[in-house]
Each structure stands twice: as C-alpha cells, then as structure tokens.
Amino acid sequence: MNILDKIVADKRKEVDLKKSLITVPQLEGSILMERTSVSLATVLRKSGRGIIAEHKRRSPSKSVINQNLNVQDVATGYADAGVCGMSVLTDGKYFGGSLDDLVLARAAVNIPLLRKEFIIDEYQIVEAKAYGADVILLIAAILSKEEIKRYSELAKSLGLDVLLEVHNEEELQKSIMPSLDMLGVNNRNLKTFEVSLETSKSLSTQIPDDFVKVSESGINSIEAIQDLMAYGYQGFLIGENFMKTNDPGASAKLFIDELNN
C-alpha cells in the first residue's frame, strides 16, 4: 500500500464512525448550512495574484511543519495579507487538522475556505458545508469518474465550489465535467513525493478555459508563480512555505506585496 491507499483506508473507517455519531439530518441542522458561500473560483478569476494559503500542522512527507499556531490567528493573518482563499486541512491522523480548525477559521474571516480533505463519501460534503467551508477538494486519484460526478453535483447543489485535483493526464481526462469550477494540478508525485512544476506546465494545455487552473505543491517563489501564470494558471496553493514560519500571515503579506511589485 502506498501512503494514499493507507490514508483512504483509514478515512473509510473514520467516516463510518462519524456517521454513527452525527447523522446527516443533524449536520443539515447546522446554522452554517444557511450561509451563502463565497466562490473561490470567482475571486481567483478577478485576482491578479491568486494565492490560496494553507493551514497545515504536519504532513506525511514533512512530519511536523508548525504545531504552535492558533488557527484563528493564521486565518486573520492570511485575510489581512490579501490572500484569495484559505485551505484548511481537516484530516487528523496524517495532517494534525480537524473540523474544529474549519469552524474557528470561519468564525475569524469571510474569505473563501477550502476544506482540504480526502473525500470518499457524500457525508463529508454535507459536513464541509455544515462546518463553514465554501469549497471542497476532490482528488481524482482516489475517485472513479462516477464518484467525481456525483460528489461534485452534490457540492454544487449545496452552493459549494469544487476544486478537482489531478496528478497526470489520465486523471485529468476522466475528470473534466461541467460540475467542476477549478482544476488543480498537484506537482507532487504521490508515489515518490518528488515535486516538479513541469507537471502543471505539461497539463496546462489540456485544461479547458471554462475551468480556473490551480497549481498545487512546490510553489515557493515569485518566479514560480510568474512562470505558471504564462501557462494560464490563476490559482496557486501555498502551504508549507508560509506555515513553516512563526507568522504565516506576515509571510503571506511579504510574498503578495512582492508579487504585486
């Protein structure tokens, strides 16, 4: 089993347990179900910067990144820095996140929040809306074409944006459908964990212009973003680069100010 298979196997057990503790009707009773979501795709289309900043405590590839920060402070810092959106990892076992992080970030800011999670069940999509997300992530590597269609259509019915993540041409070709808003290319090879921006460049021409193109992983310089913009990318997911500092918000502000100059 590679790491992704292991995460998915654990996630199935976790979701089964959650379903027995909190039912879908209970989730649907959340006051946040009534909230009108803010579209990340719309914000990215209008922005000349396209920064989506992440809150991530640790990861399987880097172990501890930053365990010491308050998620509300990070969210406020990112919003003040002028990011287009914030990605909040809610996986506990491998990334040290939780749904509480999503709720706390939502209480602090009104910028678009992406629930970064390994979604393998419709339950998690209702859960995302109930806990204040504006956007969900779907990962093509762990879903069938039929699941991508079903999950993305459910998300749209709840008013959520959908970012679909691919790693190669095969995943991209099975995934293109009208119920997606953004197509994200992850530059990290999930088998080796090596990162190359060439992945985003090589797939750029195969992503129709109807979708906002987002590049993920390994983006840690202004030059990388300028380079990728030439390939039509409008969104850039940056995680560890900000989170490994003592003040992610201040780091994001410096980065965005430099990008604007």
Two tokens at 29?
Answer: 């009773």
Active site residue 147: no
Residue from 37, 39, 87, 217 carrying the catalytic annotation: 217
Contact indicator for 186, 216 with CB cutoff of 8 Å: yes
Q: Is 240 an active-site residue?
A: no
Instruction: Tell how strand 63-64 and strand 58-59 pair up.
Output: antiparallel
Q: Which of 54, 117, 127, 240 is catalytic?
A: 54
Q: Are 179 and 152 in contact (CB under 8 A)?
A: yes
30 annotated active-site: no
Q: From the candidates 127, 165, 171, 240, which is the catalytic residue?
A: 165
Residue 102 backbone dihedrals phi, psi, to 5 degrees: -65, -45
Catalytic residue (one of 66, 87, 116, 240): 116
Spatial separation of the C-alpha atoms in residues 132 and 174, rounded to whole Å: 29
d(CA 261, CA 256): 9
Residues 37 and 160: beta-carbon distance below 8 Å: yes
Note if 116 is an active site residue. yes
User: Residue 163, Cβ neighbours under 10 Å: how many?
Assistant: 32
CA distance 216 to 51: 11
Place of tokens 């990215």: 44
Please count the CA atoms within 13 angstroms of the CA of 259 that sit on its side-chain side. 25
Token digits of residue 3: 């790491």
Beta carbons of 199 and 187 less than 8 angstroms apart = yes
Which of the following is catalytic: 37, 39, 175, 186? 186
* Catalytic residue of the set 216, 240, 251, 253: 216
Active-site residue among 11, 37, 39, 56? 56
14 is catalytic: no
Residue position matching structure tokens 């959520």:
160
SS3 230: coil
Active site residue 145: no
Question: Is 216 labeled as catalytic in the residue annotation?
Answer: yes
Q: Which residues are known to be catalytic?
A: 54, 56, 116, 165, 186, 216-217
